[in-house]
Structure 1
Amino acid sequence: MSAHAAQLATDAYLAETVKSARREELPLLLFDGALRFLGRAQALAAQGSAEAFGHQIARAQAVVDELNVSLDLEQGGEIARNLRDIYVFVNGHLASALVARDARKVGEAAGLLRELRDGYEHALRSRG
């Protein structure tokens, strides 16, 4: 199976996973997607593939944008505002990583998203 065919199969699987997910599980899927793109970006930075690196950063930034616009600032209050600030910071950090082709900055952004993802998963599981 070619890399392109494998990517198409993965995309189809992920699309089906999103369709069947409960609403409250969607942020986890978004976090996982962003982390997957950032992992790929880190690997590509090591290989020196600037165009592919940039593509993966852009995909991760699009996911972070989606997390940001999904926030309900009125309902979520201070927590939602703090998350918005973190998402803006992460995307800015990724923009800086893109310009510098800096895998370390990508790792820092991924670390923040991983913490948010794990915290969200813990809260979700605690609710039952």
Structure 2
Amino acid sequence: MQSPYKNYIKQEVEGATKGKLVLLMYDGAIKFLRVAVKAVNENNIPDAHNNIMKAQNIIYELMSTLNMEAGDVAKNLMRLYDFMIWQLVEANKEKDNTKIESVIKLMSSLREAWKEVVQKEEGSVKQEPEETKSINFAG
């Protein structure tokens, strides 16, 4: 018998739009990276490695879903995802939480942007002040 939580997640994924699936992927990557940070702090190298790898796999999946014919947005996302993978490879080798945290920040910013897209798709956009919408990719 499936737990209520697993059943809920299964229903959430099966009924999700493409936009919601992307949000779920961001959520998963961010969750795994936070677990990796905790594992690094506890010097639990196997858990740190495994969770970084799980996040990388999600980013690779996000990369594979990009429509490169869609233009500059897809190309810029590909560059960002590539940068995140590079940061995570380095973080995994060095067990460096600053690199993991930088990827968490990028993923969180992208997740917020996707959340707005999903809300627009659903017609339930809540207007936010302009200064909270900007994303600084320079760091």
Q: Same fold (TM over 0.5)?
A: yes
Residue number in structure 2 paired with 1:14: 9
| Alignment partner of 1:107 is 2:101 | yes
CA RMSD of aligned residues (A): 1.7
The ranges of structure 1 where at least 4 consecutive aligned residues each deviate by more than 3 angstroms after the TM superposition are 8-16
Q: Which is higher, the Rg of structure 1 or of structure 2?
A: 2
Residues 94-114 of structure 1, C-alpha deviations (whole Å, 9 max, x = no match):
000000001111000110010
**TM-score, normalised to structure 2's length?**
0.80
| Alignment partner of 1:52 is 2:35 | no
The equivalences for 1:76-95 within 5 A come to 76-95=70-89
Residue number in structure 2 paired with 1:123: 117
- In structure 2, runs of 5+ residues without a counterpart are 124-139
Residue 122 of structure 1 aligns with an amino acid whose one-letter code is E
- Between 1:116-125 and 1:40-49, the stretch displaced more is 116-125
**TM-score, normalised to structure 1's length?**
0.86
Q: Count residues with an aligned counterpart.
A: 120
Name the SS of the counterpart of 1:48 in structure 2. coil
- In structure 1, runs of 5+ residues without a counterpart are 1-7
Residue number in structure 1 paired with 2:18: 23
50 and 13 in structure 1: CA distance in 2 versus 1, 3 angstrom threshold:
farther
Name the SS of the counterpart of 1:21 in structure 2. coil
